[in-house]
Structure 1
Amino acid sequence: MRAYFSLITLAPLALSACGDPAPTYVDQAWVRLSPNKDTPSSGYFVAHGGDADTALRGVLTDYALKVEMHESMSEGGKMTMKPLDSVPIPAKSKVAFAPGGKHLMLWGVNDTAISRGKMTLTFLLANGDRLLVDAIIQKPGAVTPAAKPEEHKAH
């Protein structure tokens, strides 16, 4: 009877050690303002896949008129750009939106965000999650922020 009682009392502890699955998260978000208010600014970040595959379906913000996902690529010796409807985020991987590759285009970044030096972006994932992330705003000509390896190591 004593062994049975020990097993019952220890079972919840063993199960709690399994923990929740690791979530998908986004960090290192920043926006490079366009020198011309009539042209779009660019946004960058790193998406970290959790324990399950998902996809980025879009990005929203109250601090710009419009946000689109795009990818720059070389075709026939020329740089071109195409819009992206969705970007896969495989489990336990990193997907970088960086200059010269995948990026956000933000039209009409408002003055409130510019004066604050940051803007909140909402990342919409295929699994239904919505991730709120503050993006640092870099004025035209500012130095590109250095990547911060393992910024969210606790995740």
Structure 2
Amino acid sequence: MRLLIVNGPNLNLLGTRETDIYGSKTFEDYFVELQFKFSEVELAQFQSNTEGEIIDQLHQAHDGKFDGVILNAGGYTHTSVAIADAVAGIDLPVVEVHISNVMDREEFRHTSYISKYCVGTISGFGLESYLLGIQSFLNDSKDKD
């Protein structure tokens, strides 16, 4: 199985940004842990602060390189019709993840333009939200066997 993790704006600051919300571990360090834990899965990651680059990455994932996408669109979750359209337009399952519990935060974060087009949403489990996203793909693959 091949999965792509796409991280949106400001997630490059994990480890130093609002550590009371996002923790003190960088995503790069956590990604190494994920690769070790899920050695049977080919994991790739991409991060951008730019909406168009995220859309381009989603389009490229659609070309058969990946079996699914784990998407943390960051603040674009609540603002980007274009990223929602990209998720809707690709023929890949996408799991939306958030590190924080978005429903326990500012009201504008309660709306996701992306959720409607995803197979599921995982929110509020810290960086473990990514692990749960990967596990959801593995569980789904076992169900199909």
TM-score, normalised on structure 1? 0.27
TM-score, normalised on structure 2? 0.28
Instruction: Specify which structure has the higher proportion of helix.
Output: 2
Higher relative contact order (CA 8 A, sep 6+): 1
Instruction: Specify which structure has the higher proportion of strand.
Output: 1
